[in-house]
C-alpha cells in the first residue's frame, strides 16, 4: 500500500440526497473509471468535514478525499490488486 | 496515553472463504461441516442464517429450515492460508497484532495515528483491503481496550464498524446483558442471575464483597469488566509466552469401541504431536490423553514420564499405557493427546543402539514429510486408516510458530 497526498481531478455525481459518487479520476494523465466504491465515510478536521472514498478500478484500490470547503480532491493511497 | 484498540472479526469466515473460492456458491445458503459422517455445522453463510441456520446445528435440522441448503466439507488448510495472509496485512498498521483466533485479531493502534491519521481510517483501510483482495467482509470494533473493542465489533454484523468512545462506555454497558461480554459465559451468567444480576449496569454497582465470596478473585475481574475496564495488553506473536503444551485431538468419523481401532487413531495423533514437538525441538515429560464418549462425557488422564518424549513411537506407547488403564464405558467419539512439561535439557543422547536407530528413522521420516507433506511416509498400520474426522481448527491456532497447527 502506497501512501500519497496529491491533488487530482475527479468526475463526480452529486446526488439529490447529498450523496457524492466519484465516477472517474485522472492520475498521471490517465483516466481511471471507478468500478466499485468499497467504503465511504466522513472525518471531521476542525471545522471541516472531509469525505473519504475507497474505490477500485480494474487493477487497484484507491483512497480519494473530497474537501467540500474548497471543492478539491486528493488521492491519499493506492494499493495494487 | 489513552489506548486505542481495534478488533477485527471476519464475518462467517469459513463459509465466506468457500463462497469466494467457488463462485457457484456465492449468494447461496451454505454451511461448512466437519466431515461427511459428523454433520454438525461449523459455520453458516449469512444467506443460510437468514433462514435461522446456526453454528452447532445438525445438517438435517438445518435442512428443515432451509431445504436448498448446500453443505460444504471443511477445508482447514485454505482457511489457515487466507487467515495468515490477512494477519500479515494487519501488521501493516501496527506491530502490535494479537491473533485471537483464525478469524479474529486485536490491534493496538495507539502509536499508529501519526502515519494513518485516524482510527476510523485504519479500520476502513483494513476493511477495504480485505474486501478487494479476498472478497471477504469483516466487522471492526474500536475502543479504549480489548474487552470493549470486541464488544464493539459484535454490534454491527456483517461488514460493520463501531466505535466506542470512553465517554460512551457507561451508557452502552448500562443495559447490556452480562453474557454479551467476552469472558462471561453461560455458566457465569446463570450464577450472576441467581444474584439478581442480568445487566452490566447491575453488576458494575454490585457489592464487591459478595462477588468475591461467590467467585473468588474472579469476582473483582467481573466487576471491572462490567465497568468496561480491561488493562490486558495486545500481545504480538513475538512476545507471546512460551508454549506450555502441544496437543491434537480429533472427532472420529464414527464412534469406536474396538481398542485396536482406537490405538490406530492414537498412533496418528502421536505422530502429529511428535512431529510438531520435534519441529520446535521440544521434548515433554507429561502426556495427557483426552477421551470423549458418545454422550459427550469428557475426561482426561495424565502420566509423567521418566524421560522426555519427542519420538512419535514413545508418545504412542505412553498413550497406549494410559488407554490400557481405562475401562471404556461407552464408545469413543473424540480422542486427544497433549504433550507438556518441557524438559530444559531437551533430547537425551541414546544409550542403546536401538534408540539411536529409532531417532535416525524418525529424522528421516520427518525430512521426507517436511518436503512432501504430513503422512507421506508413515507407519504401516496407519496406511488407509488415517482418520478423516472433523479436524476443527483449534482456538490456539496461530499463523506461525509452535502454535501453528498444520491441518493436512
| ipTM rounded to 2 decimals | 0.95
Residue A1 sits at the chain B interface (C-beta within 8 Å)? yes
**pLDDT at A4 exceeding the cut of 60:** yes
Q: Which of B271, B292, B290, B274 is nearest to B282 (CA)?
A: B274
Residue B241 CB-density burial (10 A; 0-12 exposed, 13-18 middle, 19+ buried): exposed
Q: Give the pLDDT confidence score for residue B291 in this predicted structure.
A: 92
Task: Name the residue facing B128 among A3, A43, A54 (closest C-beta).
Answer: A54
**pLDDT at A37 exceeding the cut of 80:** yes
Classify B40 as helix, strand or coil.
strand
d(CA A64, CA A15): 18
- Per DSSP bridges, beta strands B138-143 and B161-163 are parallel
Q: Do A43 and B115 touch (CB under 8 A)?
A: no
The answer to whether B122 touches B6, Cβ cutoff 8 Å, is yes
The answer to whether B145 touches B5, Cβ cutoff 8 Å, is yes
Mutate which of A41, A48, A64, A80 to disrupt the B interface (most B C-beta within 10 Å)? A41
Residue B10: which pLDDT band, with cuts at 50, 70 and 90? very high
Q: Do A1 and B117 touch (CB under 8 A)?
A: no
Averaged pLDDT for residues A20-48: 95
Q: Give the pLDDT confidence score for residue B252 in this predicted structure.
A: 85
d(CA B165, CA B108): 15
The answer to whether B221 touches B162, Cβ cutoff 8 Å, is no
DSSP bridge pairs for B289: B301, B337
Classify B308 as helix, strand or coil.
strand
Residue B26 has phi, psi (to 5 degrees) of -65, 135
d(CA B120, CA B168): 17
For this structure, is B104 an active site residue?
A: yes
Averaged pLDDT for residues B117-126: 96
Task: Name the residue facing B132 among A38, A41, A52 (closest C-beta).
Answer: A38
Decide which of B297 and B131 is more confident. Answer: B131
Its pTM stands at: 0.80
Q: Cis before residue B119, ω within 30 degrees of 0? A: no
**pLDDT at B408 exceeding the cut of 60:** no
Residue B352: which pLDDT band, with cuts at 50, 70 and 90? low
Residue A18: which pLDDT band, with cuts at 50, 70 and 90? confident
Residue B390 grid coordinates: 472433523
Averaged pLDDT for residues B301-323: 92
The answer to whether B359 touches B310, Cβ cutoff 8 Å, is no
Residue A43 sits at the chain B interface (C-beta within 8 Å)? yes
Q: Give the pLDDT confidence score for residue B350 in this predicted structure.
A: 59
**pLDDT at B347 exceeding the cut of 80:** no
Which residue in this structure is represented by grid cell 470423549?
A: B292
Of B49-53, B285-289, B363-367, least confident by mean pLDDT is B363-367
Selected residues 77-96 of chain B with any CB under 8 Å from a CB in chain A? 92
**pLDDT at B270 exceeding the cut of 90:** yes
Q: Give the pLDDT confidence score for residue B357 in this predicted structure.
A: 81
Q: Give the pLDDT confidence score for residue B228 in this predicted structure.
A: 97
Q: Do A56 and B132 touch (CB under 8 A)?
A: yes
**pLDDT at B178 exceeding the cut of 70:** yes
A-chain CB neighbours of B90 within 8 Å are: none
Residue A79 sits at the chain B interface (C-beta within 8 Å)? yes
Mean pLDDT in chain B?
Answer: 89
Q: Select which of B47, B61, B85, B104 is catalytic.
A: B104
The answer to whether B334 touches B260, Cβ cutoff 8 Å, is no
Q: Give the pLDDT confidence score for residue B36 in this predicted structure.
A: 55
Helix (H) or strand (E) holding B324: helix B312-324
Averaged pLDDT for residues A51-67: 96
Task: Name the residue facing B121 among A52, A61, A79 (closest C-beta).
Answer: A52
- For the stretch A70-74, contacts whose Cβ atoms lie closer than 8 Å and that sit 24 or more positions apart, written own/partner, are A72/A7, A73/A7, A73/A8, A73/A9, A73/A10, A73/A22, A73/A25, A74/A5, A74/A6, A74/A7, A74/A8
The answer to whether B138 touches B152, Cβ cutoff 8 Å, is no
Residue B403 sits at the chain A interface (C-beta within 8 Å)? no
Residue B340 has phi, psi (to 5 degrees) of -150, -170
d(CA B398, CA B167): 34
| Tens-place pLDDT, residues B60-75 | 999 999 999 999 998 9
Amino acid at each position: 500500500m502506497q501512501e500519497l497526498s496529491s491533488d487530482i481531478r475527479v468526475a463526480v455525481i452529486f446526488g439529490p440526497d447529498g450523496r457524492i459518487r466519484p465516477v472517474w479520476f485522472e492520475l498521471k494523465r490517465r483516466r481511471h473509471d471507478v468500478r466499485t466504491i468499497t467504503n465511504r465515510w466522513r472525518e471531521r478536521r476542525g471545522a471541516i468535514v472531509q469525505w473519504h472514498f475507497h474505490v477500485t478500478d480494474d487493477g487497484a484500490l484507491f483512497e480519494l478525499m473530497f474537501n467540500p470547503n474548497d471543492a478539491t480532491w486528493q488521492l491519499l493511497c493506492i494499493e495494487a490488486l | 496515553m489513552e489506548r486505542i484498540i481495534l478488533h477485527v472479526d471476519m464475518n462467517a469466515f469459513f463459509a465466506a472463504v468457500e463462497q469466494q473460492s467457488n463462485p457457484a456458491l456465492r449468494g447461496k445458503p451454505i454451511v461448512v461441516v466437519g466431515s461427511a459422517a459428523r454433520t454438525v455445522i461449523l459455520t453458516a453463510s449469512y444467506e443460510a442464517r437468514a433462514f435461522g441456520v446456526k453454528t452447532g446445528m445438525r445438517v438435517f435440522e438445518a435442512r428443515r429450515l432451509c431445504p436448498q441448503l448446500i453443505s460444504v466439507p471443511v477445508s482447514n488448510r485454505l482457511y489457515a492460508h487466507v487467515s495468515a495472509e490477512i494477519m500479515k496485512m494487519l501488521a501493516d498498521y501496527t506491530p502490535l497484532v494479537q491473533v485471537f483466533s483464525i478469524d479474529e485479531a486485536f490491534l493496538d493502534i495507539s502509536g499508529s495515528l501519526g502515519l494513518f491519521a485516524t482510527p476510523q481510517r485504519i479500520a476502513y483501510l483494513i476493511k477495504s483491503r480485505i474486501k478487494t483482495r479476498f472478497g471477504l467482509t469483516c466487522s471492526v470494533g474500536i475502543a479504549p481496550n480489548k474487552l470493549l473493542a470486541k464488544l464493539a465489533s459484535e454490534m454491527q454484523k456483517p461488514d460493520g464498524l463501531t466505535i466506542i468512545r470512553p465517554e460512551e462506555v457507561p451508557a452502552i454497558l448500562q443495559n447490556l446483558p452480562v453474557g454479551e461480554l467476552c469472558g462471561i459465559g453461560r455458566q457465569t451468567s446463570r450464577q450472576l442471575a441467581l444474584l439478581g444480576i442480568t445487566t452490566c449496569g447491575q453488576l458494575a454497582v454490585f457489592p464487591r464483597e459478595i462477588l468475591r465470596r461467590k467467585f473468588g478473585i474472579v469476582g473483582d475481574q467481573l466487576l471491572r469488566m462490567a465497568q468496561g475496564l480491561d488493562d490486558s495488553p495486545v500481545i504480538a506473536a513475538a512476545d507471546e509466552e512460551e508454549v506450555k503444551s502441544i496437543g491434537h485431538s480429533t472427532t472420529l468419523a464414527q464412534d469406536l469401541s474396538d481398542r485396536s481401532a482406537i490405538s490406530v487413531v492414537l498412533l496418528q495423533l502421536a505422530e502429529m504431536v511428535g512431529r510438531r514437538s520435534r519441529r520446535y525441538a521440544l521434548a515433554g515429560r507429561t502426556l495427557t490423553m483426552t477421551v470423549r464418549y458418545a454422550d459427550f462425557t469428557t475426561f482426561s488422564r495424565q502420566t509423567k514420564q521418566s524421560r522426555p518424549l519427542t519420538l512419535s513411537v514413545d508418545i504412542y506407547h505412553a498413550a497406549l499405557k494410559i488407554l490400557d488403564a481405562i475401562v471404556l464405558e461407552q464408545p469413543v467419539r473424540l480422542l486427544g493427546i497433549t504433550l507438556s512439561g518441557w524438559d530444559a535439557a531437551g533430547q537425551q543422547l541414546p544409550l542403546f543402539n536401538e534408540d539411536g536407530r529409532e531417532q535416525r528413522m524418525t529424522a528421516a521420516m520427518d525430512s521426507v514429510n517436511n518436503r512432501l507433506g504430513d503422512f507421506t511416509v508413515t507407519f504401516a498400520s496407519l496406511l488407509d486408516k488415517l482418520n478423516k474426522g472433523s479436524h476443527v481448527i483449534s482456538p490456539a491456532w496461530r499463523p506461525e510458530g509452535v502454535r501453528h497447527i498444520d491441518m493436512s
